[in-house]
Chain A
C-alpha cells in the first residue's frame, strides 16, 4: 500500500491519534520526530500552511490535520475494521462529537490547566460542564463509538492519560469519580487495549513538559498584561 511516514513530536496527543490508527490497521510506517523549536525543512515543505505536526506522508504526498488524517487512513486502508460507521447519520454524529472535543472540551480543559488564581477558578466551571456532556455520551456504551472501539475513541483517547497530567501540573481536580463514573470506566477499558497501552509517551517526561509549558504560558500572560 506504499510508503508511510509520520512527522510527529514525542508528546503531542494529536500525533498519538495517528500512531494508534496506524498500529490498529497494522500499517508499517516510519516515524520522524520534529523539534518544534527548530522545524525541519521537510515539515515546512509538507505543511506550509500551518507548519504543524502531525503530518502523514503516504507515497510522498502529505496529509495534514489529525482528524483529516484519521479519515484518510480509514478510507485508504479499508479492508480492515473501519473506524467510522457506514451509516451517514452515524458518521455525521461521530464527526459532530469529534468537533465538540477539539473545539470545546480540549479548549476549556486547557484553559483551566494553563491559568491560576481567580482566572483558573473561573475556567473550571466550563471545563466540568463540557465533561458532563462527554459523560452523558458514554451512558449505555462500552466505548464512545458504541459496543466496540472506533473513531470517537481515537478522538477522545487523550483524556485517558493527558487529562490526569493536566490536572496534576495545573493543580486542579476535574475527573471526580462520583461525577464521571462512565468516563472512568471507559478509561480503564481504553487503556487495556494493547496498542493504546504500548503507545503512551513516558509519564514523567510528560509531567516535566506540561509543567514547563504551564510556567511559560503563565509568565507570557503576566508579561503582556
Chain B
C-alpha cells in the first residue's frame, strides 16, 4: 500500500518548513499545498478545526497538526534517518530544547525584530540565544542533534535563516558573530545540508516578508 502524504503549509513560515525538512531528510514523497493565510482553504479548516493553522500533515487522510507534534509523528512512522535519539534521556533533552526554542527563544527574537532592534529587546533576545550558544559549545558537535541534523536543529531553523533575513531586511544586528560564534557556524552548516536547503524557503522570500513588517 502506498502512502499518500499531503502538507498544507505556507512557504515563508518558519513553522511550515519544519515538516518539509523532515520529509525531505527521510526521502518521503509528499504533495505540497500552499495556503493563502488570508483566505484559508476549506480543507485546512476541515483538517485543523481547532487552531485553523499551518502546517498540517495529512497522511492517508489522517490530519496531524502542530509542527513539533508533526515532526515526532514523521519520525515514528518513517524510521530511516532518525530525527530523535533512541535513548530516553537524550530524547527528553531534545524535546526540552525544542520547547525552549519555541517558548522562549523565538518569541524573544521576534520581539527584537518587531522593535526594529531596540536595545532592551535585543538584550533580552541575546539572553535566550546564549542558552543555545552554550548548548552547542557543551555538545561540541556540528548540530544540536549531534553529527546529524535532529529535532532541535529543525525547530531552530528560524535562527539559521529568518534571523539573517530580518537583519538584512530591517538593517539591524541580531546575532553578532563575536557574541555567537557557535550559532553562526551552526547556521552555515545547517542551511547547507542538502535536505535542509531543499526544505527551507529561498532567503529572498523571507527578506521580502520582513520588508513588509
**Chain A residues in the interface with B (C-beta under 8 A):** 49-50, 58, 61, 63-65, 67-69, 71-72, 75-76, 88-89, 91-93, 95-96, 99-100, 133
Min CB–CB distance B47 → chain A (angstroms): 12
In the complex, what residues of B have CB within 8 A of residue A89's CB? 59, 62, 64, 73
Stretch from B3-11, B94-102, B168-176, B190-198 that touches the partner: B94-102
Residue of A nearest to B48 (CB): A96
Which among A63, A65, A92, A100 is the interface contact of B72 at CB below 8 angstroms? Answer: A92
Q: Is the interface of A mostly helix, strand, loop or mixed?
A: helix
Say whether B73 contacts A69, CB under 8 Å.
no
- Contact of B92 (CB < 8 Å), options: A63, A93, A96, A100: A63
Chain B 122-152 per-residue mask, 1 if CB under 8 angstroms from chain A, else 0: 0000000001000000000000000000000
| 8 Å CB contact of A49 from B66, B76, B131 | B131
CA separation between A99 and B69, bound complex, in Å?
Answer: 9
28 A-B residue pairs with CB within 8 Å: A49-B104, A49-B131, A61-B89, A63-B89, A65-B99, A68-B92, A68-B96, A69-B92, A71-B92, A72-B88, A72-B91, A76-B88, A76-B89, A88-B77, A89-B64, A91-B72, A91-B73, A92-B69, A92-B70, A92-B73, A93-B64, A95-B69, A95-B72, A96-B65, A99-B66, A99-B69, A100-B50, A100-B51
Chain A residues near B72 (CB-CB < 8 A): 91-92, 95
Q: Which of A63, A75, A91, A96 contacts B96 (CB 8 A)?
A: A63
CA distance A68 to B94 in the complex (A): 9
Chain A residues with Cβ below 8 Å from B91 are: 71-72, 75
Residue of A nearest to B74 (CB): A88
When C-beta atoms are compared, the residue in chain B nearest to A72 turns out to be B92
Taking the nearest CB of chain A, how far is it from the CB of B37, in angstroms? 19
* B75 smallest CB distance to A (angstroms): 9
Alpha-carbon gap, A67 to B73, bound state (A): 16
Output the nearest chain B residue to A137 by Cβ-Cβ distance: B50
Q: Enumerate chain B residues within 8 angstroms of A88, measured Cβ to Cβ.
A: 73, 76-77
Chain B: CB-nearest residue to A68: B95
Taking the nearest CB of chain A, how far is it from the CB of B155, in angstroms? 14
Q: Looking at the assembled complex, report how far the CB atom of A94 sits from the nearest CB atom of chain B, in whole angstroms.
A: 9
What is the CA–CA distance of A63 and B69 in the complex, to the nearest angstrom?
Answer: 20
Rounded to whole Å, the gap between the CB of A2 and the closest CB of chain B is 11
Give the chain B neighbours of A69 by CB distance below 8 A. Answer: 92
Q: How far is the CA of A89 from the CA of B64 in the complex (A)?
A: 8
Bound form: Cα–Cα A85–B72 in Å: 14
4 A-B pairs closest in CB distance = A88-B76, A92-B73, A75-B88, A72-B92
B66 proximity list for chain A (CB < 8 A): 95-96, 99
CA distance A91 to B75 in the complex (A): 12
Q: Which residues of chain B have C-beta atoms less than 8 A from A95's C-beta?
A: 66, 69, 72
**B95 and A71 contacting across the interface, CB-CB below 8 Å:** yes
Closest to A61 in B: B89
